[in-house]
Amino acid sequence: MPQIFTASADTRLRTAALLLAVVFVVSLLFTAGFMNSTYVTSVGWVVTQPVPFSHEHHVGGLGLDCRYCHASVEVSAQASLPATHVCMTCHSQIWTGAPVLAPVRASLADNKPLHWQRVARLPDYVYFNHSIHISRGIACVECHGRVDQMPLLARGKPFTMEFCLDCHRDPGPHLRPRDQVTRMDWTGWHQDPKVAHEQLKAFGIQPDKLTNCYICHR
Amino acid sequence: MEREQAGPPSFNRRSLLQAMAASLALAAANGRRAEADERALPYVNAPEYVVPGKPKWYATSVRFAGYLQPVLGKSIAGRPVKLEGNDQHPATGGATDLFIQAALLGLYDPDRSQVPLHLGQPATWAAFDTDVFRLTAEIDRTQGQGFRLLTGAVSSPTLLRQIGDMQKRWPGMRWHVTEPINEDERLEATGRVFGRPLQMLPDFSAPAAIVSLDDDFLGPGPRQAMQARAWSKRQPRIFMAEPTPSATGTRAGERLIVPSARVQVLAQAIALGVGMTGVAAADLTAPEKKWVDDAVGALGAGNGLVTLGALYDAALHALVLLINERLGSFGKALRFTDPILAAPPDGKDSLAVLVDDMKAGRVTTLLILEAEPLQATPAALDFRTALEKVAFSVHGGLYADATANACHWHLPLQHELESWTDGRAPDGTVAIVQPLIRPFLNVRSPHVVLDRWLGGTASDHDLVQASWQTGWQEALLAGFVADSAPAAVTPTVRDRTVPLPQVPSSDGLVVEVRPDATQWDGRYLHNSWLQETPKPLIQATWGNVILVSPALARERALSNGDELSLRFGNGELLGAAWIMPGQEPHTLTIGVPDSFGFLDSRRQAGVRLEKTGKTRVIASSQPIQDMGEFDYVRTVESGGEAAAQHKDDVSFYPPRKWDSPSWGMSIDLDRCIGCNACSVACMAENNVPVVGAELVAHGRQMHWLRIDHYTEGEADAPRHHFQPVPCMQCEQAPCEMGCPVNAAVHSPDGLNLQVYNRCIGTRTCSAYCPYKVRRFNWFEYTGDDPDSIRAMRNPDVTVRSRGVMEKCTYCIQRISGARIAAKIAGRPIHDGEVVTACQQACPTQAIVFGDITDPNSAVSKRKASPRNYSLLEEANTRPRTTYLARVRK
């Protein structure tokens, strides 16, 4: 019988199989790395806005509280963005002619809303409720990062489900007193695990129920 | 990709790669679309009291056949997403019906007429205003001779004021009303007996026994919410005599199946039985005699009510009035007020007079507002020919249908949910209707149309406000004007003579015409929620059927779906046969919409029936309705008796202790009248898609909550039952066990959850579910929704895509909202704080939902009743949704 396969056929086959396995593992690693990279999570990627609003100046420099603009964060699921009117409470008196604020003035004059590009957006199937988080002592910076250090806003934390679950599984280290939630630079309880555990009870948080699907999804 | 000639793509390597690249680009583009709304548009000037993310509730009403149905409209981001009952309203106390729930879709219907049409071509309001301006000069000259206004039934004080203004300016003008399903005979009867027409307002919570002569007072209609709620308070015993099964008949303790011709004889017998004189005796058959004796006995115990169906002759209504007088129910179970709907000058002959005048050429200008005479009047009237003789005809309505196309002008009108208007609820209470959204189409309110016709420039808001000088704010807050119901009248009988007509012939087959349970008189043709809602007792969707009795079916060898031809005179009706257990042997039932082309009265004897030989597919949601040996719906002999249980309490595991709150639901089958308000409310609340007739015929309807209809006993005289079936939220759920990807999980508060993102569409859960409450998205039902439908969707509930399973969630969005609100306030969830959509909608309060770990909650008390049982107990699923057995009355 003539030989169908050459002498090196085995070697070639094994090399190909090994290569396939390596490629498979590498592609898995690549996908995992890619999905956790900022290409997908957008962490640190600055988003272009119609007006280059600087949180660093307004929050860090001037000391405005988050709730001055994001007014419904304590009562509603949405934190909400400020109406043009809110910007104009100050900017009708200061920087009144600044070209950079022209879109704001135009918005008020034409009665057309500003088209802000959303930074902290979750998918539609996640039903996130701000008010319960604020009420339970989760600070704004826990999820949104140090906006007082951002001249232009970018996502501070990756909004992956893993990120949410990390806290939901163990909320203790992320808690702080209810009246300190909007402070940028508060440290206090995270260092002491005992305090964290006591605060869990004080806030009435039950971590074993927090990881259930129905808490966030419907 | 350029091609030399058309034809199927040739799959060489190049074109294949090109096709792949194109589809990838398309997919990317599609993905881009899903991510596209990454913008946020806040207010420019935020209105006061608006918290983004929190809904606002407004008290308003929707209109049905001239009456207002009070609702609380839930508005999110400036648009209504749900209608609920107004629990403070004196008439309904929060009850709704399916027409109220489906009114939401009427606002957002993409089929709605969007531009004025002139001779079928899109035109502008300015062009119409110009035409009217020229026309009114002519009408002024003739003092209104030849100008007619045709509307549906009207109870709106503002509209009546405007019509009055028109009549003052143009004395020759006349107003006509066409409302196919009405109470004209009752009004004529009261006019005859009391000397002036009065509105009869029976109070179904007052009597101890109700004798109903073919009056489906729990059935569909503008009074259903009010009457069903009243009846449900004490659930008095009902004696029913009817030729065709009805919702009220299913609640009757004794149901007599008789042709409608015998109703007169029964009324006479009852009159004699309660001791009236001067009434002719009549021969009764043995079953009739027994029924009459039992009925009279129940009435004789004091505090009874006799009621007669609206479509019977005025003379018979007069007799029934006298029977009620004899029973002493005037002022108690039967109240009278001045008529609630305004009567047009020609009364019940209004439409006939108009058509006569049109045919004689006496009508030069016809304005039709919110009436559909070409679709909803008998063909014998020949409105189309009459309309051709009118020089200038204008139709205003929500849809551009046949009537619109036959008129010179069609005007798109506003829906009540985007309008200022007013009117009266079925008890006569006045309400002001306020809009929940600014009109998003190029539409006008009927008030504005009339005002412009008169040369005015007011908005509908100003026109309505002009009618209501005081109490405006209070009326808007409450949803009604307090104490505005007309005062009760204590009438005195002036005329005791009751000239009864001859008993109508029952020769051959008799066709009874009944209001369509989901289409009413055909006006809801475009409303897909109502089209897809199965008609109670029949379970047919997307079209109507001809009901035949089992006896007739045996005699003529008919089966379900056989196409029948009914002939009378020159009219013919083709329809699918449906064998209706409990139907009178020689009676056929058709719906009002089918009757227009065929008959011109509500009852016709001597109809000929033939099979055409063809069959029609009936899109039925429940092909098998005979309960047979099973006991899905159980009956107990008295209220204290325990329902049959076959529990098999075998389990390896110790009983689980649930933390509070743990949710459960109890459905009282004695109260359920099969109205389907709960089913449509669930569709509105949970973004449930509509699938269409073909898929319903395959059993693929998406209703999360369905009403099953069962007949028990022999087909000729069975008992009828309704059973709402939501997800049972089983503690031992087979679906959770079967799902290969763990998309069906259990929450700590007792809910069976469906995680859409995990679902890969194996449908194992549905196969394992013994109740078949899990619905699968076989196709992409929601992906290409028009913008107005997307605006209607509830943002608190996920809109499901193709390939995922969905089911009732016990309104988890409401539970979550209550849970968060309670946590923030630092308190437990109160009983009654979470009300599911179905529970809220139910007019008879059959559904109760709450915390089963709290022994004092309403649901725990219901479940503690001996009548409590679970469906399919032998499956050992431990369902959280349980039922209360019916009580044999």
Show the tokens assigned to B382.
């020949």
Report the alpha-carbon distance of residue B625 to residue B547 in Å, rounded.
Answer: 15
Report yes or no: B149 and B165 within 8 Å, Cβ to Cβ.
no
Nearest CA in chain B to A113: B44
> Span A173-186, mean pLDDT?
90
Residues of chain B scoring pLDDT < 70: 1-37, 646-649
Q: Which two tokens stand for residue B549?
A: 């009795």
Q: What is the pLDDT at residue B19? A: 56
Count CB neighbours of B759 within 10 A. 22
* Distance, CA of B182 to CA of B64 (rounded, Å): 12
How many other CB atoms are found less than 10 A from the CB of residue B126? Answer: 9
DSSP symbol at B486: P
CB-CB contact of B68 with B62 (8 Å): yes
Å from B44 to nearest chain A CA? 5
Of B40, B44, B747, the CB nearest to A214: B747
Nearest CA in chain A to B753: A214
Q: Averaged over A12-20, what is the pLDDT?
A: 96
* Preceding peptide of B661 cis, ω within 30°: yes
Alpha helices in B390-514 (DSSP H): 402-406, 446-453, 460-467, 472-478
Both tokens assigned to A201: 């009870």
Distance CA B65, CA B180 (A): 9
Provide the 10 A C-beta neighbour count for residue B324.
23
| Residue B668, C-beta contacts closer than 8 angstroms, at least 6 positions apart | B846, B847, B848, B862, B883, B884
**CB < 8 Å from B in window 135-154 of A:** 135-136
Query: One-letter amino acid identity for B870?
Result: S
Residues of A in contact with B53 (CB under 8 A): 72, 76-78, 80
pLDDT at B27: 46
Say how far apart CA B221 and CA B97 lie, in whole Å.
9
pLDDT recorded at residue A161: 93
Residues of chain A in contact with residue B756, where contact means CB-CB under 8 angstroms, are 125, 217
ipTM above 0.90?
Answer: yes
In this structure, the strands spanning B304-308 and B209-213 are parallel
Locate tokens 């509830």: which residue?
Answer: B794
Q: Cβ(B712)–Cβ(B721) under 8 Å?
A: yes
Helix, strand, coil content of chain A in percent (nearest 5):
50, 5, 45
Q: Are strands B39-40 and A116-117 parallel, antiparallel or unpaired?
A: antiparallel
d(CA B499, CA B279): 10
Parallel, antiparallel, or unpaired for β B545-548 and B409-412?
A: unpaired
Model confidence pLDDT, tens digit, residues B92-106: 999 999 999 999 999
Q: Is A90 exposed, middle or buried (0-12, 13-18, 19+ CB in 10 A)?
A: middle
If you write DSSP's letter for every residue of B527-550 in order, what string do you get?
A: -HHHHHSPPTTT-EESS-EEEE-H
Residue B31 phi, psi (nearest 5) = -65, -40
- Are the beta carbons of A217 and B757 separated by less than 8 Å? yes
Q: Report the percentage of chain A scoring pLDDT > 90.
A: 76
Q: Which 168-207 residues of chain A touch chain B by CB within 8 A?
A: 204
> Using CB atoms within 10 A of its CB, is residue B599 exposed (0-12), middle (13-18) or buried (19+)?
buried
C-alpha–C-alpha distance, residues B666 and B663, integer Å? 11
DSSP strand pairing (B744-746 vs B719-725): unpaired
| Residue of B43, B659, B660 to mutate, interface with A, max A Cβ within 10 Å | B43
Q: How many CA atoms lie within 13 A of B239 on its CB side?
A: 26
Sign of CA dihedral B450, B456, B459, B463: negative
Mode of pairing for the β-strands spanning B663-668 and B847-851: antiparallel
* Preferred mutation among B35, B39, B794 to probe A, highest tally of A CBs within 10 A: B39
- Cβ separation of B39 and A212 shorter than 8 Å? no
CB B226 within 8 A of CB B427: yes
B45 vs A78: CB contact, 8 Å cut-off? no
pLDDT tens track for A151-165: 999 999 999 999 999
Contacts of A217 in chain B (CB under 8 A): 755-757, 798
CA distance A63 to B664: 49
Q: Token digits for B178? A: 């066409």
Cα(B728)–Cα(B854) distance, rounded to whole angstroms?
A: 19
CB spacing of B54 vs A75 below 8 angstroms: yes
Report CB contact under 8 Å: A125, B747.
Answer: no
In order, the DSSP letters of A65-105 are -HHHHSGGGGTSS---PPPHHHHHHHHTTSSTT-GGGHHHH
| Residue listed under structure tokens 């036959």 | B406
> Quick check: B738 and B767 in contact, CB under 8 A?
yes
Question: Which residue on chain B is closest to A117 by alpha carbon?
Answer: B39
- Compute the C-alpha angle A33/A37/A43, nearest 5°: 160
Q: Which of B525, B503, B521, B587 is nearest to B551 (CA)?
A: B587
Could you tell me which of B262, B255, B264, B707 has the C-alpha nearest to residue B517? B707
Strand partners, B71: B60, B85
Distance (Å) from the C-alpha of residue B822 to the closest C-alpha of chain A? 10
Which residues in A lie closer than 8 A to residue B45 (C-beta atoms)? 83-85, 111
One DSSP character per residue, B179-197 reads -SS--HHHHHHHHHHHSS-
Q: What is the residue whose two structure tokens read 């039967």?
A: B334
Yes or no, beta carbons of A117 and B52 under 8 Å apart: no
Nearest to B90 by CA among B225, B217, B187, B206: B225
SS3 of residue B344 by DSSP = coil
β-strand partners of B590: B513
Q: Tell me the helix, strand and coil percentages in chain B, rounded to 5.
A: 30, 20, 50
Local structure of residue B630 (DSSP, 8 states) = -
**How far is it, in rounded angstroms, from Cα B510 to Cα B131?**
49
Mean pLDDT of chain B: 92
Amino acid in position B662? S
Alpha-carbon span A118 to A48, nearest angstrom: 10
pTM here? 0.93
pLDDT at A177 over 60: yes
Residue A114's pLDDT is 95
Which are the contacts of B170, defined by CB distance < 8 A and separation ≥ 6?
B139, B140, B143, B144, B147
List residues of chain B with CB under 8 Å from any CB of chain A: 38-46, 51-54, 745, 747-748, 751, 753, 755-757, 796-798, 809, 812-813, 816, 820, 823-824, 826
Identity of the residue numbered A134: I
Nearest to B878 by CA among B709, B714, B737: B737
Q: Is B704 left (phi over 0), alpha (psi -120 to 50) or beta?
A: alpha
Sign of the torsion formed by the C-alpha atoms of A199, A203, A209 and A213:
negative
Question: What length is written for chain B?
Answer: 889
Nearest to A129 among B748, B797, B820 (CB): B820
> Cα separations (Å) of B506 from B326, B586, B587, B590?
30, 8, 9, 17
Q: 């909400």: which residue's tokens?
A: A80
Provide long-range contacts, Cβ within 8 A and 24+ apart, for A186-190. Answer: A186/A139
pLDDT attached to residue B279: 87
Please, what sign has the CA dihedral across residues B633, B634, B640, B644?
negative
Pair B702, B689: CB distance under 8 Å:
yes
3-state secondary structure of A209: helix
**Type of residue at B711:** T
In B, which residues are within 8 Å of A82 by CB distance?
42
**CA distance from start to end of chain B:** 75
